[in-house]
Every structure is written in structure tokens, then in C-alpha cells.
Homo-oligomer: A and B are copies of this chain.
Amino acid sequence: MGFRSTVPAFGKKVIIEARVNEYMPRDVNPNVPFTPDEIVEAAVACREAGAAICHYHARNPDGSPNHDPETYIETIRKLRAASDILINPTLGQVTLKSSDEARLQHIVSASREPGLTPDFAPIDIGSTNVDVYDPAAKTMRTDTLAYVNTPKTCAYFARRMREVGVKPVAVSWTIPFTRMFEAFLEMGLLDQPAYLLFALSDSGYLGGHPGTIKGLLSHLEYLPQGFRYEWSVNSKVGNLFGPAALALEMGGHVAIGLGDYPYPELGTPTNADLVRRIAEHAEAFGRAPASPAETRALLGMS
């Protein structure tokens, strides 16, 4: 009698992306990194714990958003000196209402510095409202935050990123985002294997699917067929461990960090603590963390 794992993805390496800070405050968890040095320290620890990619937002020492390309470049320079972790800076998006060119400015600027081209940058491939609802107070905390990304804008980002050698992370909040991702693959605007990230949303953020296994499952029913890509999942302001289990089972990847959710369930964990838990959970599914080099191979990055 032989046993055989029922995990479809048994043996496949898992890409763990550490989403270290976003614009999360420190009031619930003091381990959210703000400055370039803090981001580097967190990223190095995450790399040791199993992460292959670091996603970060540049912030001022007081935690407020910092949109200066120089701060992004300083962070990349220090990250590259300290670690082989792959680098995925954010774009200027909800917090920076500006032109397509301006939203990509820090990525393009960094790519002009020798050795400092970011490995990835995200493209949110659709539009949705990202306002926050407070169910306890029965009121909207914000009510005008339409997060608008037209196909024209997304195509611009994809072309410019290809020109400067940055791999896009196509981010899908709803099923129409995934349909547009498929159209972009058909139009040849994204190189294959592509990288697709499902952004679930919770804690009153209503712009994505709920941050549950069911919420991710509804996305997976619309995975494009006939194209090569890897997919991952994160949960904005929600506990990711449910959806992460589905990703581990189904051959997806995992993007977790204090930027998305401070994990008070675990006390005040660090980003590396979260990465380590995912790596350990992955082991039970027969999946080991992909190194940065293995991640580049999975995603066809030269």
C-alpha cells in the first residue's frame, strides 16, 4: 500500500513575498519599518526566514508617505548591498493623485542607477472603490476613494516596465481585473510566465473579495487558461492564513506582512515571524520556500 499526497502542488517551491510596511501605523504593532534602514533590517530577516521578495513603501521617519524617488533609490541601494532578496517597490497610487508618468517616476529613476533597477513593480489592473466602512459605527470612514486604473494607464505601466527591465506584478482585486489580466496576456503586454497577485480586502475595506478561503476560491474559478503565469495572494488589512492555505494547496504563492495586517492574534510579531510561519506551514504541504534565484527562474526573469 502506498501513500500519495493529495496536495496538487506537492513539491513545488513557494514564492514568499514580504509586504513589510505599506502605510500601516505602529500603534498596534511597533515592528512596522518606516525608514530605509528599518526596511533593510526587516527584509534581511525576512530573507533568512524564507522570503524571496520584499514589497515596501517609502515612508518618512514619522511614518507618513514619502514619494521622493531618492528615498526609494536609497532603500534599493541599501537592500542590494545587504541581501539578494528581490525588490518590489510600490507605485504611487491611491495616495498620490498624479499622472501615469509621475506614478512610475521612482521606478524609472531607480532603473537609471547602475545596479538599482527594481526587480518588480505592481500594476493594479482595474478600478475599484477602496473606501473604508466602519460596521460598528455604521458609517463610511472615507467615501470618495475610487482607485482608478484604466487599461490605458495599465498598458503604459506595462510597456515602460518592460523597457526598463522591471517585472510587473499584476494585481487583481475583482474578477474583472483578472479578465483584464487575461486580455493583457493575449495582447502581449505582459511577458510569460507572468506574475498575478490576488488582493483580498477586509477590516471594512470593501474593494476586493473578502479575505477568506472562499474569497480567494472565487478568484481561482476565473484563472485564465492557456497562458503561463504564477499567482499569489495577499489580504489587505486581513489575516491571510486561511487564503494562504488554499494557495499552498493549489500551487499558488503567498504575500504576507505587517504592511497588510498587524496580526494582533500573534501578539506583536515581526515581518520575519510571519514569513517563518508561512514557510513552516508550506513544509506541511510539501513545499519549500523558493530562493530569489528560484523565484527568477519560476517567473522567467533573465
Interface residues, chain A, with chain B CB atoms under 8 Å away: 126-129, 131, 133, 135, 138-140, 143-152, 155, 173-176, 179-180, 183, 186-188, 201, 206-210, 214-215, 218, 221-222
A179 pairs with B206, CB closer than 8 A: yes
- Among A135, A143, A208, the one with the most B-chain Cβ atoms within 10 Å of its Cβ is A143
B144 pairs with A206, CB closer than 8 A: no
B146 pairs with A150, CB closer than 8 A: yes
B209 pairs with A175, CB closer than 8 A: yes
Are A143 and B138 also in contact (CB < 8 A) when A126-B129, A133-B183, A183-B206 are? Answer: no
Which of B129, B146, B186, B208 lies in contact with A135, CB distance below 8 A?
Answer: B186
Name the distance in Å between A98's Cβ and chain B's nearest Cβ.
Answer: 16
Are A152 and B148 also in contact (CB < 8 A) when A133-B183, A214-B221 are? Answer: no
Are A150 and B139 also in contact (CB < 8 A) when A128-B174, A176-B173 are? Answer: no
Given contacts A135-B183, A176-B206, 13 further A-B contacts (CB under 8 A): A127-B146, A133-B183, A138-B187, A140-B187, A143-B151, A143-B152, A143-B155, A144-B150, A144-B152, A145-B150, A173-B176, A174-B174, A175-B210
**Which residues on B sit within 8 Å (CB–CB) of A152?**
140, 143-144
Which of B138, B140, B146 lies in contact with A148, CB distance below 8 A?
Answer: B146
Which of B131, B175, B186 lies in contact with A174, CB distance below 8 A?
Answer: B175
B176 pairs with A207, CB closer than 8 A: yes
**Which residues on B sit within 8 Å (CB–CB) of A128?**
126-128, 174, 176
Name the distance in Å between A145's Cβ and chain B's nearest Cβ.
Answer: 7
B208 pairs with A176, CB closer than 8 A: yes
**Which residues on B sit within 8 Å (CB–CB) of A209?**
175-176
Q: Which chain B residue lies CB-closest to A135?
A: B186
* Top-9 shortest CB links A-B: A179-B206, A174-B174, A143-B151, A143-B152, A133-B183, A146-B148, A127-B146, A144-B150, A127-B127
Are A129 and B176 also in contact (CB < 8 A) when A148-B148, A150-B145 are? Answer: yes
A180 pairs with B206, CB closer than 8 A: yes
Q: How far is the CA of A149 from the CA of B207 in the complex (A)?
A: 12
Q: How far is the CA of A65 from the CA of B174 in the complex (A)?
A: 30
Name the distance in Å between A146's Cβ and chain B's nearest Cβ.
Answer: 5
Name the distance in Å between A131's Cβ and chain B's nearest Cβ.
Answer: 5
Q: How far is the CA of A139 from the CA of B189 in the complex (A)?
A: 10
Which of B129, B180, B208 lies in contact with A150, CB distance below 8 A?
Answer: B129
Name the distance in Å between A116's Cβ and chain B's nearest Cβ.
Answer: 31
B144 pairs with A218, CB closer than 8 A: no
**Which residues on B sit within 8 Å (CB–CB) of A131?**
150-151
Q: Which chain B residue lies CB-closest to A142?
A: B151
Name the distance in Å between A60's Cβ and chain B's nearest Cβ.
Answer: 28
**Which residues on B sit within 8 Å (CB–CB) of A176?**
128-129, 173-174, 201, 206-209
**Which residues on B sit within 8 Å (CB–CB) of A148?**
127, 146, 148
